[in-house]
Amino acid sequence: MKEDKEELVNDKEPIKENKKENKEKKSHRFIETIKKKWLINGTKTFILVLIIIAIFIAINILMQKLELAPIDFTQEKLYTLTDESKEKVKNIEKDVNIYFVGYDDDNTNLDLAKQYKKANEKINVEAVNIDNRPDLAQKYGIESGTQGIIIECGDKSKVLTDSDLVTYDTSTYETISIAEEKLTSSIQAVTTDKIPKVYFLTGYSEFSLSENMNYLNMYLENEINEIATLNILSTGKVPDDCDTLVITTPNKDFDDIATNAILDYIKSGRNILWLNGAITSNTEMPNVNKVLAEYGVKPFEVGIIRETDASKMVTNSPDLIIPNIESSTITKDLYNTTGVILINATKINIDTDKLEELKVEETDLVTAEETAYFRTDFTKQSPSASEGEATGPFVIGTELEKTITEADEEKEQTAVKSKLIIYGENYFISDYQLSQNSQYGAVQLAYNKDLVLNSIAYLVDREEDITARKSTGTVTYTATEEQDTIIRVVIFTIPTLIIIIGIIVWQVRRRKK
């Protein structure tokens, strides 16, 4: 029986080999036919080229109709919609139309926008010719020959231009794409019932949105926020529509008008984000300290936090520290990361004995460990704590929730609370830090801004916006006139020369035959 089976197997093997040889012969004959009959004959060669081009165009049209997500080989997935954006739009129940007016179908921002539809079928994206949609031209004032992106939901709408989708780094002349952030925030803006308003107090600090916090201003606008500045001496109070008041490092004391206005604001149960950089000289600020005392915060001391643990500092610089991110609602997606870097941070002193009396609950957000120390004498150069200098742990960022009015079930009255989130740092979210071209610059862009943006999202009661925002900005360089000429030569002239040389060689060989 074994011998019979072996014979059957041996009989089948020649059959398989014959089939393989036949396939190879057919394939060879097909190639030879193309070489001898098609490529030698000019007309047939031309027809063959047209067929190949037609197949390519057909495949291209089919791929466009399928609207498949682009294959993104970039490390940071620059052309792929992030999970954060998908999460923010997936539960939208209203119909949203996004019109790319005057854009080609192969535009990269259009391709990116089409991915929103895969996250939520309520979002429709299409490229339109303004001449075919006069209703859009009339409604939004878009002229023929111009471009615009219309995000529309019911009666609410937002119009973006190309300049809205990029930002510029004036120090490196880089153009950075923020298309995804703008599109996501615009979709949220037209579908949300209320846009929070954030006011920045002016007149008491060297840190302002117009001078050295432009990046923060841009990042806030990319979220669901309306941003405004507040000159409290002209208004006499904090506006009623203020959802969060941002106070940056005071370099002079509050006036009585400002002090009373901020205290009234706190008593009404509203919220504050306070960024306070280290101070280098004693300045009497009784009114500033009066406001902080409402939450149990003691006056800031002269000095900066420095590290002795190499793993907790950057580039062996003791004043560039990597603090601990504690677990909380605000830091839930940043917890245990090492992406926040602070420069010349100061410690926040809490009067823990008074918290209960003040009806304040403390939740620490950012801390420094025992390896840190607080330098108060800036003339000292020693890398470790000197005599009299305090050592860690230190609180650098904390949330303090103050109960203004207790809840009363009989009166059906809910509790009124005011929240203060305070960080003993300000430079970490300034333009200086965000635009640094260093080995840690990218980390700062990724997480320093998240810490502040998440804090504001929490204070304006938009916890769904508390995320670890993935950096997806594409960076391009503005070419000089000389560089532009070189690029055009490489793209157009060289391929044209190759084609011409190929034709000449073909003609010479043909004549020799």
Residue pLDDT, tens place only, 240-282: 999 999 999 999 999 999 999 999 999 999 999 999 999 888 8
* Phi-psi sector, 253: left (phi>0), alpha (psi -120 to 50), beta: beta
Identify whether residues 28 and 132 lie together within a single domain. Answer: no
Residue 355 within a domain: yes
DSSP symbol at 383 = S
Q: How confident is the model at residue 201 (pLDDT cuts 50, 70, 90)?
A: very high
Q: Cβ distance 296 to 341 under 8 Å?
A: no
Token pair 């149990």: residue: 296
DSSP symbol at 307 = E
Q: Which of 227, 257, 223, 231 is nearest to 242 (CA)?
A: 227
**Cis amide prior to 393 (ω within 30 degrees):** yes
Identify whether residues 244 and 389 lie together within a single domain. Answer: yes
Residue 468 within a domain: no
Residue 103 scores a pLDDT above 50: yes
Identify whether residues 35 and 139 lie together within a single domain. Answer: no
Q: How high is the pLDDT of residue 441?
A: 44
Identify whether residues 201 and 191 lie together within a single domain. Answer: no
Q: Which domain holds residue 24?
A: 19-66
Identify whether residues 57 and 88 lie together within a single domain. Answer: no
Identify whether residues 316 and 375 lie together within a single domain. Answer: yes
CATH of the domain at 184: 3.40.30.10
Q: Cβ distance 181 to 190 under 8 Å?
A: no
Residue 78 within a domain: yes
Residue 473 within a domain: no
| SS3 of residue 287 by DSSP | helix
As for how many domains the chain has, the answer is 4
Identify whether residues 185 and 213 lie together within a single domain. Answer: no
Identify whether residues 127 and 250 lie together within a single domain. Answer: no
Residue 14 within a domain: no
Q: Which helix (H) or strand (E) holds 89?
A: helix 83-89
Residue 474 within a domain: no
Residue 106 scores a pLDDT above 90: no
Q: Burial level of 124, CB count in 10 A (0-12/13-18/19+)?
A: middle
| Poorest-pLDDT segment among 58-62, 190-194, 380-384 | 58-62
- Confidence (pTM): 0.70
Identify whether residues 397 and 272 lie together within a single domain. Answer: yes
Q: What is the pLDDT of residues 450-487, one digit of tens each?
A: 899 999 999 999 877 777 665 544 444 444 455 556 65
Residue 46 within a domain: yes
Question: Which of 161, 195, 229 delimits the end of a domain?
Answer: 195
Question: Which of 134, 162, 195 delimits the end of a domain?
Answer: 195
Residue 401 within a domain: yes
Q: What is the pLDDT of residues 209-227, one digit of tens each?
A: 887 788 788 788 778 888 9
Identify whether residues 163 and 201 lie together within a single domain. Answer: no
Taking only Cα atoms into account, the Rg of the chain, rounded to an integer number of angstroms, comes to 32
Identify whether residues 112 and 216 lie together within a single domain. Answer: no
Per DSSP, the residues of 388-454 read T--BS-EEEEEEEEEEEE--BTTTTB--EEEEEEEES-SGGGSHHHHT--STTHHHHHHHHHHHHHH
How far is it, in rounded angstroms, from Cα 155 to Cα 189?
12
Cα→Cα distances 359→245, 272, 279, 299, 349, Å: 21, 17, 29, 19, 17
Q: How high is the pLDDT of residue 37?
A: 53
User: 413 has which bridge partners?
Assistant: 408
Identify whether residues 366 and 377 lie together within a single domain. Answer: yes
CATH of the domain at 333: 3.40.50
Q: How confident is the model at residue 49 (pLDDT cuts 50, 70, 90)?
A: low
Question: Which of 157, 179, 195 delimits the end of a domain?
Answer: 195
